[in-house]
A = this chain, B = another copy of it.
Amino acid sequence: MSAVKAYAAQSETSGVGPHTIERRALRPDDVAIEIDYCGVCHTDIHFAENDWGGTIYPVVPGHEIVGRVTAVGEQVSKYQVGDKVGVGCIVDSCRTCDPCQQGQEQYCDQGMVSTYNGIDRHDESVTYGGYSEAVVVHQDFVLRIPDKLDMATAAPILCAGITTYSPLRHFGVKPGDQVGVIGMGGLGHMGVKFAKAMGAEVTIFTRSESKVAEAKRQGADHVVISTDRAQMKAARNRFNYLLDTIPVQHDLNPYLNCLKVDGVQIMVGLLEPVDPPLQIGALVRKRRVLAGSLIGGIPETQEVLDFCAEHDIECDVEMLDIQNINEAYARMKKGDVKYRFVIDMQSLKNA
């Protein structure tokens, strides 16, 4: 065990502040990582403030971790001291169930172990995330950061990136497909980049005329103002895929009607009950599909990192010092970030 500096939330209303945590001693298959950068995900806020219940305080958020290997356990074969590595949302799973065997640890039958607020399968300690100096993770859940990628902008690939890449790949986006991306935040803007790189023609759906120029800058071929009835009507029956990244309640029906026969609307955001009610007729009449998708497994997280290196894709980030994390949370709640905050963990040394 070793004491390390970290930023933690101590209660639902404390905000995130300095704290000392214990990192476990290296097990034979463990990798110790000094953290250089950590992306800030909206999920971090939900856990810091216990929005979903179940937060175990103190909670150290952060599951978009990039850093360098500082030590390895005696049986580690995959990584060496000095390697540039990343850790995403998952640090362990049962490894034996069907989803785990297929490299889809996020759907582990026994439940994946989350990077923070998870329970370690061996000693039942609580896991701590990336708002800290260091992290210790089993080598099988560590990703390699390709040399070509910038370390800071690579961090959000580990959650925002894989969350959008995984379903686009799984549901089979291919060149020439019409893909609509609903919502233009951290997830949405990555979805646009991936869909374009996969050869699709991409439309961004946004509520506001004021975001059209920015949507085009993000690479969208077309923009549909979702509050404009005429534009939504013109978009009907046109899309092979819709990637819905809106994290709050909204009406799904107008979007479903934009899908072609056999079109697929993929939900990666909305976790609340659907309101207004879903119209099943929209699914039946064109054999449309409404699907959900949760982050991605370890093999495909490595795949998306490599894909980003190959296609020169990076997340648009605003760099942040850890001391300003609470202001960042406040801005994120207003949707005021383009498009992902990334903490420069050097700042923790001075905290």
Contacts and interface: CB of A to CB of B under 8 A. Distances in A.
Interface of A: 98-99, 104, 107, 109, 167, 170, 237, 261, 267-268, 270-294
Which 4 residue pairs of A and B lie closest in terms of their CB atoms, listed nearest first?
A283-B292, A284-B292, A273-B277, A274-B278
A274 to B, nearest CB: 4
A270 B268 CA distance: 25
A3 to B, nearest CB: 35
Given A274-B278, A280-B292, 13 more contacts: A99-B261, A267-B283, A270-B280, A271-B281, A274-B277, A278-B278, A281-B292, A285-B292, A286-B292, A287-B293, A289-B290, A289-B291, A290-B290
A192 to B, nearest CB: 20
A279 B275 CA distance: 10
B290 A284 contact: no
Contacts of A282: 292
Contacts of A279: 273-274
Contacts of A271: 280-281, 284
A273 B290 CA distance: 15
A284 B288 contact: no
B291 A280 contact: no
